[in-house]
Structure 1
Amino acid sequence: MNPIHEQHLLSTRRHLFGKATLGLGTAALAGLLADDLKAETTGVLKGTHHPATAKRVIYLFMSGGPSHLDMWDYKPKLKDMFNQQLPAHVRDGQRVTGMTANQKNGLPLCPSKYKFRRYDNNQDGVWVSELLPHTAKVAKELCVVNSTFTEAINHDPAITYIQTGSQIPGRPSLGAWLSYGLGSLNDNLPHYVVMHARTNFAEQSLFNRLWGAGFLSSDHQGILMRSQGDPVLYLSNPAGVTGKDRRQQLDALATLNYEQHKRFADPEVLARIRQHEMAYRMQTSVPELMDLSMETDTTFELYGEDAKTPGTFAACCLNARRLAERGVRNIQIFHRGWDAHGGLPREHGSQCKDVDQACAALIMDLKQRGMLEDTLVVWGGEFGRTAYCQGTLTRENYGRDHHPRCFTTWMAGGGIKPGITYGRSDDYGYNIAHEDGTPMTPQPDASTWTPGTMHIHDRNATILHLLGIDHKKLTYRYQGRDFRLTDVHGHVIEDLIA
């Protein structure tokens, strides 16, 4: 869409409305605005490019880089290579971080200390380690991808890349694109909700640009739900201000903003009005949403006792299901602390305890309510971790560095094939490999798609496809260029679609 053309159209229509409503008062103006602003929630696409299998996305983001080698990608041959150097031909000159580039002990190989089991016992079955006993119970619902890859090797550009399609800040996030394209399924809640789960290892900061709207209208950005105080900032009225007072304030503010828009035709002014109206409606809808008192004991048994404590990952997952029930299009839970450069068993043990039962419970809960079939659940971090150790190495204690060349993510529901593993890595879990285990030469990149691989642009293209969107057609013209989530790359991986 051309924003200059959009401004012209909006200005002409608003100008007409302005003349027609002179002297009718604030109430009449608010009524006119309400109808027009409600129309904005349908999304720019006014539908989908093709039939969708998913209506909504719940994105479980493990910030910091969970170790695929200790959780999903079983590498038995590494057990016989303990403390041996990573062969030069495996690395093949690939970049490593400055944290391990000059290690005195080189790049010693580090097998996982954890036992693995293949679930469903078929050729495409899912390997899961003993770190995830609850998630293993829903393995038949998961589509596990062991060949996800990215070019970014450090946290901030990598997280920015997977969330927005660019390593450079300033682009809209996945949730913002979905809000812009498809709009809302509930007029009383945001299109896009973000939650931060508590963790014992909250090393990395998370910036609001990761769920921001970039150059899109600001009402497409994610709304952060807090675990303490008001779930959303300024949700409650100040002391002495009634709901009627708030309504009158918003009506007066809408009149002023409308006059501003008539003068300058800035669409962002309309976005502000929509945000104010949404905030007013949320004063009723959000308290009901966050009240878990009506949930059954059976539900809390499913999610675990942690679900009763606000801010835990389990509580966030339970709230994610409640948001999904109420029509929120995109829900994202960030869980920090997966950056295990040292003491990985201790840190990942704690992290997995945080998320394991809740991930499984979310999938089971959605399925028993008939929602999994049209809800896409996505799990993963910004990259994986290396086959070689960082720091002191013993069989029971070790650390791993960042590894973007191949790592594991998974999806479930929403039209994804269940109970399969897609793609594989070599015997070292270092490079993407062919089905026979030989490394692909050259290693794949974003410019073309190679069967059995999934670049993060391919991942985002596939997510959009499941929601009925052609990733090449959801664009926004900005500074003379048509931008999209997948930049100029991306391939829908049909092999993952049921």
Structure 2
Amino acid sequence: MTADAPLRDFQLDLTRRQFFGHSGLRLGGMALASLMGREALASSSSALVNGPLTGLPHFAAKAKAVIYLHMNGGPAQLDTWDYKPGLKEWFDKDLPPSVQGGQRLTGMTSKQKRFPVAPSLFQFAQHGQCGRWVSELLPHTAKHVDDIALVKTVHTNAINHDPACTYVMTGREVPGFASLGSWLSYGLGSESNDFPAFVVLTPNWKSKAAAQALFTRMWSSGFLPTQHSGVALRAVGDPVLYIQNPEGVSPSHRRAMLDTLAQMNAHSFQRYGDPEIQTRMAQYEMAFRMQTSVPELVDLRSESKATLEMYGPDVEQPGTFASSALMARRLVERGVRVVQILHRGWDQHNNLPSDIRLQCQDTDQPIGALLADLKRRGLLDSTLVVWGGE
């Protein structure tokens, strides 16, 4: 640091992440001031053509946590939730240009001479007081249709899986932006000192369909501080790698090491002011606490036999969707804001009748159990459960 040009030295030491971080804090402060003083601001700017909105939303937000169940590969909507009985009349007829709407074709279909319409092979029936039509593939989830809002208008413009998933997760097809869970962690913080605010689970799948690749950008914090990235719990083996002390290192030794490391990082932060140093310090402490909290999380001995049976026969097998669904409930109970379960194997091209049946057998009962479990514990009113895909 030179005495004659401290601002220049500060600019030279300013990283790209720090620049956007400082800018975000200032914009966030402006937004907070707008929310807190919106009525006063509105009264003083009533003459503005495009003045601020008055008051807050009509309904207060009730959700404190989100469980996002992402069926990776693009589940067939007309075989699950989107009842289309009129397709039977179109069987083996060519898809009209008015429906195709000029949409470009994929490489797999570009050489087809015809594009015949095929209705669903599965039966649909009405369920609940609302009379919602649901496929025979989802008998357990169908019991909860009166608690489900079905949104049919969400779509992406991407023709391939990866950019579509990236768009769903981050709002952009181009990698590098913060994911949904990271934004919620950044905006709402965490209610737990023993777990990250954002946890990701990637269970195994039963169908023979080839799995689309999962990239960490789907739960990355992007340009936000890295403490808001999702922490992925592994499907097999230790849920988190390297979280336990190596042989010969006692908890007291690990504590002493972290204390010394914290002092060194604090010195570095005073010198450089990089917020990532503070993030690293916080993550070390979180990892230390997770040495106790994670083993307690995956220990299912406190769950009743009735609860385990409700989730299905696979619930006690680590890495299954049933196990992940139960972990989602346990994580929400422990204050985790966002739990994201990415279930692969839904990219069915040649074996849809058999593969989609296996996928639904894998997920339907656990999802129905998750909704029932959250409801009986009083958590469904404050937990938003989202089912979808790209």
Residue 149 (structure 1) aligns with: 155
Aligned pair in 2 of structure 1 residues 121, 86: CA closer, same or farther (>3 Å)? farther
3-state SS of paired residue (1:61): strand
Preserved contact between residue 7 and residue 267 of structure 1 (Cα < 8 Å): no
Deviation of 1:98 after TM superposition, in Å, equals: 2.0
Match 2:142 to one of 133, 136, 141: 136
Deviation of 1:7 after TM superposition, in Å, equals: 6.4
Residue 162 (structure 1) aligns with: 168
Residue 348 (structure 2) aligns with: 340
Match 1:181 to one of 187, 190, 198: 187
Residue 307 (structure 2) aligns with: 299
Query: Quick one: percent identity of the two aligned structures?
Result: 53
Residue 93 (structure 2) aligns with: 84
Unaligned runs of 5+ in 2: 1-16, 26-30, 37-55
> 1:55-454 maps to which residues of 2 (within 5 A)?
55-104=64-113, 106-120=114-128, 122=130, 125-200=131-206, 201-382=209-390
Deviation of 1:120 after TM superposition, in Å, equals: 3.1
Unaligned runs of 5+ in 1: 11-43, 383-498
Aligned pair in 2 of structure 1 residues 300, 5: CA closer, same or farther (>3 Å)? closer
Aligned pair in 2 of structure 1 residues 248, 329: CA closer, same or farther (>3 Å)? same
* CA offset digits 1:135-155 (Å, max 9, x no partner): 111111111112222111211
* CA offset digits 1:310-338 (Å, max 9, x no partner): 11101000010000101000001010011
Preserved contact between residue 75 and residue 346 of structure 2 (Cα < 8 Å): yes
Deviation of 1:77 after TM superposition, in Å, equals: 1.6
Q: Give the residue type in structure 2 aligned to 1:140.
A: D
| Range with greater deviation from structure 2 (179-188 or 44-53) | 44-53
More helix by share: 2
Query: What stretches of structure 1 move > 3 A for 4+ residues in a row?
Result: 2-8, 44-51
Preserved contact between residue 205 and residue 343 of structure 2 (Cα < 8 Å): yes
Deviation of 1:108 after TM superposition, in Å, equals: 0.8
User: What is the Cα-based RMSD across aligned positions, in Å?
Assistant: 2.2
Deviation of 1:222 after TM superposition, in Å, equals: 0.4
Preserved contact between residue 128 and residue 143 of structure 2 (Cα < 8 Å): no
Aligned pair in 2 of structure 1 residues 75, 248: CA closer, same or farther (>3 Å)? same
Take 1:228 and 1:101, find their aligned partners in 2: how far apart are those partners?
40
Preserved contact between residue 7 and residue 265 of structure 1 (Cα < 8 Å): no
3-state SS of paired residue (1:231): coil
Preserved contact between residue 182 and residue 219 of structure 2 (Cα < 8 Å): yes
Deviation of 1:187 after TM superposition, in Å, equals: 0.8
Take 2:184 and 2:304, find their aligned partners in 1: how far apart are those partners?
32
More strand by share: 1
Give the aligned length: 344
* CA offset digits 1:244-303 (Å, max 9, x no partner): 111111111112212221221111111100110110111111111110111101101111
Deviation of 1:121 after TM superposition, in Å, equals: 5.7
Residue 6 (structure 2) aligns with: none
Take 1:109 and 1:273, find their aligned partners in 2: how far apart are those partners?
57
Q: Give the residue type in structure 1 aligned to 2:354.
A: R
3-state SS of paired residue (1:289): helix
